[in-house]
Amino acid sequence: MRQTSKYEKKFGRVILALAAVVSIAVAYYPHPTRAEDNVRARVDQLQRELKDVQLKLKNRETRARSADKKAPAQDESLVKWHLSGYAVANFVATDAADQHDTFSGAQFSPIFHFQYGDLVLFEAEPELAIEDSQETSLELEYAMIHLMLHDSFTLGAGKFLSPVGQFQERLHPAWINKLPDMPAGFSHHGGIQPASDIGVQARGGIPVGGMTATYVVALGNGPQIGDEGFTQEGFGADNNDNKAVSGRIGFLPVPYFEIGASFEYARVQGWESDNGPATNANFTLWGVDAAFTRGPWDVRFEYLNGKLGSHYGRAEEADTDGSLIPKTDWEAWYVQAAYQLSGFTNTRIVRNFEPVVRYGQFTGDGFDEFVEAREYRWNIGLNYHFAPSVIAKGSVEWRDMKAPGAGDETRYLLQLAYGF
Amino acid sequence: MTSRLTYRLFTGVFAAATVYTFSLAPAFAADESMKKAPDPAQIARGAKAWPYVCNRCHVLRDPKEINDEDWTVSVTHMRIRANIPGQLARDIAAFLRASN
């Protein structure tokens, strides 16, 4: 057997030593391939997480854009509309011999508002009511297109409530009027207060330092004399070439005190008559008003003075040929005070009550039919506000009738009104 | 005749007022306060004016009664009916929208 040489033994020992060293080195230091794998794995995980975050961000951006698209329809659309109005129901008890206690005045008055930007507002109020018979009446109280051309100038056209005074244009809705009925002489029938007209008007409010001046001037078809006598409601066609001019100027030296002055002038067409040619009559009306509305107080005064010249018209029911109607003068005024008890107490229920008192007169001289509703009238009432625009009213009314042969009357009025 | 004088007078007033108006602010501006974030100063002006201006005719209504769009249109109706200056009306509308 060949014996291992000394050199072979040394060489073998060197190989073994090298192998040992390499083994130790490999065991001590991480294998380069394993580290890269770890790095690659970590990078892959980070990439996956980044993609996930990007996806979530994209989804949120999409939802935000969708919400932005919905918002303009509510806040930025040029066309907006609003339905409001009021409803009312009444009960009247009377001691008049020729009348009966009755539930009356079931009335529904929706008000439509359509607005275009800050330029146009169209508003209209039809009124549905039950007549003394079982029939339902439908009337158009007003229908106006307003062009808001400037902060202090609005041009309007259509059928409008008379701008004379405050009551007709601003206070007549049942949920605003402090009593169940209108002041003496201020009603549409038999009174001197013009109800409405058809034409154009210009109006606005002008800041004057810390005060405000207001104005309305209107041009319309004007009142007419027909089968029912002198009528001051809007006529769809004029019966003469003369137009009625009316208006009001107001001034608020402080925000809670307002004074105003009103006027109307018209030429009214008389009847053709066998007794003579038709004569046109001048109609002139002027008035003043004042209101103090601070906190719980609501104190008002209005005065109207009207004159209608002589003309040919129907003197009585059977008069179809026409007769000379004499010149007629009217006066109507009222003063009213109301106080909300919330002004001095916060006690539940009590604070919702509002006592009110009104005194007014409607007087006249001239054609008997035009002045047969003359009276002096007292009203004492108590209102309860279920909500700011939901009001129950109770009133005692003493009517001192001034027409010859007309008896005095005491009435008890109840009313429930809802302004929506 | 009186009617011709009335026509001429009224036409003259309308023409003068229209020329004056068109020489001033643009006519077709939408209510910018509806588009932007509420302006605290405008809301404050509206809050100060609301109890006096809106109490002129009727009992004050709770701002929470109706929504923003309805308040915008309702206040415009009141602006015309009560002859409220336009900027004051916008201030009050901004206050009511911020309070409902």
pLDDT tens track for A269-287: 887 776 666 778 999 999 9
Rounded-to-integer distance, Cα A88 and Cα A105, Å:
7
Q: Note whether residue B25 is domain-resident.
A: no
| pLDDT of res. B5 | 62
Model-wide pTM > 0.90: no
Q: How many domains does chain B have?
A: 1
The percentage of residues in chain A with a pLDDT greater than 70, rounded to a whole number, is: 87
Rounded-to-integer distance, Cα A126 and Cα A139, Å:
6
Rg (CA), chain A: 42
pLDDT band, very low/low/confident/very high, at B49 (cuts 50, 70, 90): very high
B14: chain A residues, CB-CB within 8 Å: 155, 200, 202
Pairing of strands A229-231, A244-254: unpaired
Rounded-to-integer distance, Cα A233 and Cα A224, Å:
8
Torsion, Cα A204 A171 A385 B88, to 10 degrees, reads 10
Q: Note whether residue B27 is domain-resident.
A: no
Nearest neighbour of B3 by CB, restricted to A84, A171, A243: A243
| pLDDT of res. A179 | 98
Q: What is the mean pLDDT of residues A111-123?
A: 96
pLDDT tens track for A327-378: 999 999 999 999 999 999 999 999 999 999 999 999 999 888 778 889 999 9
For residue A379, what are the CA distances in angstroms to A154, A296, A388, B94?
A: 37, 19, 22, 39
For residue A215, what are the CA distances in angstroms to A4, A153, A171, B12, B83?
A: 133, 9, 17, 17, 7
Q: Note whether residue B22 is domain-resident.
A: no
pLDDT band, very low/low/confident/very high, at A105 (cuts 50, 70, 90): confident
Domain ranges (residues) in chain A: 6-68, 80-419
**A113 to B13: CB separation less than 8 angstroms, yes or no:** no
For residue A390, give both structure tokens.
């939901």
| pLDDT of res. B1 | 42
pLDDT band, very low/low/confident/very high, at A71 (cuts 50, 70, 90): very low
**B80 to A121: CB separation less than 8 angstroms, yes or no:** yes
| pLDDT of res. B25 | 47
Largest CA distance in chain B: 57
Rounded-to-integer distance, Cα A217 and Cα A200, Å:
9
Mutant choice from B59, B74, B92 vs A, greatest count of A C-beta within 10 A: B59
- How near does any CA of chain B get to the CA of A106, in Å? 22
- How near does any CA of chain B get to the CA of A66, in Å? 17
For residue A149, give both structure tokens.
């051309």
Nearest CA in chain A to B53: A255
Q: Note whether residue B28 is domain-resident.
A: no
| pLDDT of res. B9 | 64
Nearest neighbour of A81 by CB, restricted to B10, B34, B73: B73
A388: chain B residues, CB-CB within 8 Å: 58-62, 65
Rg (CA), chain B: 17
Q: What CATH class is the domain A80-419?
A: mainly beta
Q: What is the mean pLDDT of residues A302-315?
A: 89
- Average per-residue pLDDT for chain B: 80
Rounded-to-integer distance, Cα A370 and Cα A315, Å:
10
CB A123 within 8 A of CB A112: yes
ipTM score for this prediction: 0.80
Q: Is the pLDDT of residue A81 over 80?
A: yes
For B60, the domain range is: 35-99
Could you tell me which of A288, A300, A307 has the C-alpha nearest to residue A257?
Answer: A300
Nearest CA in chain A to B56: A293
C-alpha A85, offset from chain centre: 8
Q: Note whether residue B74 is domain-resident.
A: yes
Interface check A202 vs B, CB under 8 A: yes
Chain B, window 23-52: residues with a beta carbon less than 8 angstroms from a chain A beta carbon: 24-25, 27-31, 34-35, 49, 52
For residue A334, what are the CA distances in angstroms to A31, A231, A382?
A: 108, 22, 18
Size of interface A-B (CB pairs under 8 A): 151
Q: Note whether residue B29 is domain-resident.
A: no
